[in-house]
Structure 1
Amino acid sequence: MEQEIPTLGTPIELLRSHGAGVASALLIGIVGWTAAAWTARSVRSFGKRWTHVDVTLVPVLASVSRLAVLTITVMAVLERFGVDTKSLFAVIGAAGLTIGLALKDTLSDVAAGLVLLVLRPFDVGDAVEVDGTSGVVDAIDVFQTKLTSFDGVPIMLPNSKVRSAKIQNFTRAQRRRMDLTIGVSSGADLARAITSLREVLSSEPRVLTEPAPAVDVIELADAKVHLLVRAWTLPADFFATRLELTRHFKERLDAEGIVVPVPQRELHIPLRERRSAPSL
């Protein structure tokens, strides 16, 4: 006896039998998508108004909230079509384990990003140096930290590298110390040179008086003496003050007639012996 093959019926019959489920699923999808976008915007707006929330956490919280609403929406839509979401969760879990093993480096970046957001070694806008890379923090994403170098070049560092690297936060420093080494000729009047450099320091308003600046001999080199100038400034004044002090030191020493020797190199070229022309 031949088995009777069930027919799907006409489109009109399908619409009558499943139209309500399709319509409700479509409605749930539209409402869920709109709710996800609204939730993300609300989290961003709330984060801007609430000063207790770090600005680096706001984009992450907005993305997580949007993803959570979309996940609930997808599950609700699948249930309208009769899909067993419990079995689906089991399949997704197994697939997630496989994907997690394959993307362990990426997941490491995600975990490191969460740790950075919680520990907050730096904030957006801070001037930092991460493992020898210097710049201003633009954003801390889920996978990477974005910097802009001091010469305007965008830099992207994986969060896992940032988490394990040495981090220097210049913005959070209360003051910064500069060390300048200035060489004078060995025959120069050291007391006069030191006094001149100290007077330049005292005339610079951006140099802090506490801790007090210092100038003294640090090294005796060939044909010159190295003087160490040590001064403290606020972090925002560090680079500009360093540049101007270097120029003012040179101008003051020149005015005092104190020679600042420049490196010299002697080049000896041996004369080649002349060869006599061969006789015919």
Structure 2
Amino acid sequence: MDQEQITETINHVMELATAYGLQVVGAIIILILGWIAAGWARNAADKGLSKVRGMDETLRYFLSTLVRYLVLAVTIVMVLERFGVQTASLIAVLGAAGLAIGLALQGTLSNLAAGVMLLFFRPFKIGDFVDAAGISGTVKLISLFTTEMATPDNVKIIVPNKQLWDTSIKNFSANATRRVDFLLGIGYGDDIDKAFKVIKEIIENDERCHKEPESQIVVGNLGDSSVDIIVRVWCKADDYWGLKFDLTKAFKQTFDKEGIEIPFPQRVVHMVKEGANDA
């Protein structure tokens, strides 16, 4: 290789280094600025979402992180454009790949979407006792994919979020007060007014029973074996089970003391003698 060819080669390399060097420097600058912008966008989104009333911390973290990745994705596209890459074709390929991945992970993505909806609309929160998807328990943890619950006998259950979102949810802890219902049967020979008085005294002597709304004591049905009295008492949601158990015991003990019968189911059978029937 003669001196002229060497000089020409060096000049060509210098031209390529200058041209692509500027592109590389520009790409690095775009990456740095994009990285900074992504962090700024995440912090701004996190700060803005923190002002939303009732916004769950897990959902806030997920959305703010999603904003960061979106900014980074735009940054990468801009860097590729610096090197002459046809980003339109690349985006189309990535879209097709994303669609394929989405179909393969359809169940997982459904749980993710349901988790976002649960965290955003908050039909229940940690510590609530709920009945949903045929499962009753206390909510221990709400994540983006699953919800962890504990049954009354403290069995841990992990439920996919889609299963919860697609069904009706009974939240027993959502309201501050609840109504305790009783069905008490007394004998047909007992004094109904006396039974009413005894029940009312028991309720008034328990401070957990609310004065407002007023308790309700009514005759609900004339049964086959008893006069059925319906009792409805309002209390704090946290006092529900304790009050129900204590009042049930108090009703039985006081009825026994006052001579009010709680009858067993019974049937009256009339025997007809054959001889009398013939006569």
Contact 1:125 1:138 in 2 (8 A): yes
Structure 1 equivalent of residue 161 of structure 2: 159
* Pairwise CA distance, 1:63: 6.0
Asked if the contact 2:56/2:119 (under 8 Å) is kept, the reply is no
Alpha-carbon offset, residue 191 of structure 1: 1.6
TM-score computed with the length of structure 1 as normaliser: 0.67
- CA deviation profile, 1:88-134 (whole Å, cap 9, x unmatched): 54433211111222332322222222222222222222222224422
Residue 240 of structure 1: aligned partner = 242
Instruction: Check conservation: 1:55, 1:124, Cα contact below 8 A.
Output: no
Task: Structure 2 unaligned segments of length 5 or more: list them.
Answer: 1-37, 269-279
Match of 2:193, SS state, is helix
* Alpha-carbon shift at residue 231 of structure 1 (Å): 0.7
CA distance in 1, matches of 2:63, 2:91: 24
In structure 1, distance between residues paired with 2:62 and 2:129: 22
Q: Which amino acid aligns with 1:111?
A: A
Q: 1:128 to 1:188 in 2, by over 3 A?
A: same
Output the CA distance in 2 between the equivalents of 1:187 and 1:180.
21
Q: Which amino acid aligns with 1:94?
A: A
Q: Does the C-alpha gap of structure 1 residues 162 and 250 become closer, same or farther in structure 2, counting only changes over 3 Å?
A: same
Partner of 1:134: 136
Give a deviation string over 1:52-110, Cα, whole Å, max 9, x none.
4633524534764786698789989999xx99876554433211111222332322222
Output the CA distance in 2 between the equivalents of 1:182 and 1:192.
Answer: 14
Query: Are the structure 2 counterparts of residues 73 and 264 from structure 1 closer, same or farther at C-alpha, using a change threshold of 3 Å?
Result: farther
Correspondence 1:116-265 to 2 at 5 A: 116-263=118-265
1:158 to 1:64, Cα distance in 2 relative to 1, 3 A: same
Match of 2:100 among 92, 98, 101: 98
TM-score with structure 2 setting the length? 0.67
Matched residues, number: 247
1:260–1:63: structure 2 CA closer, same or farther, 3 Å change rule?
Answer: farther
Structure in which a larger fraction of residues adopt helix: 2
Distance 1:85 1:229 in 2: 72
Whole-Å separation in 2 of the counterparts to 1:88 and 1:77: 13
- Describe the shift of the 1:53–1:252 C-alpha distance in structure 2 as closer, same or farther (beyond 3 A): closer
2: CA distance between counterparts of 1:242 and 1:70? 58
Match of 1:54 in 2: 55
What is the CA RMSD across the aligned residues, in angstroms?
Answer: 4.0
Aligned mates of 2:175, 2:140 — CA distance in 1: 19
CA deviations over 1:116-174 (Å, ceiling 9, x no partner): 22222222222222244222222222222222223212222222222221122222213
| 1:197 Cα deviation from its structure 2 partner | 0.9
Gaps (5+ residues) in structure 1? 1-35, 267-280
Q: Deviations over 1:10-67 (max 9, x none)?
A: xxxxxxxxxxxxxxxxxxxxxxxxxx9xx999x999999x784633524534764786
Q: Is the 8 A contact 2:198 2:254 kept in 1?
A: yes
Q: 2 CA distance for matches of 1:120 and 1:111?
A: 14
How far apart, CA to CA, are the structure 1 residues paired with 2:47 and 2:94? 33
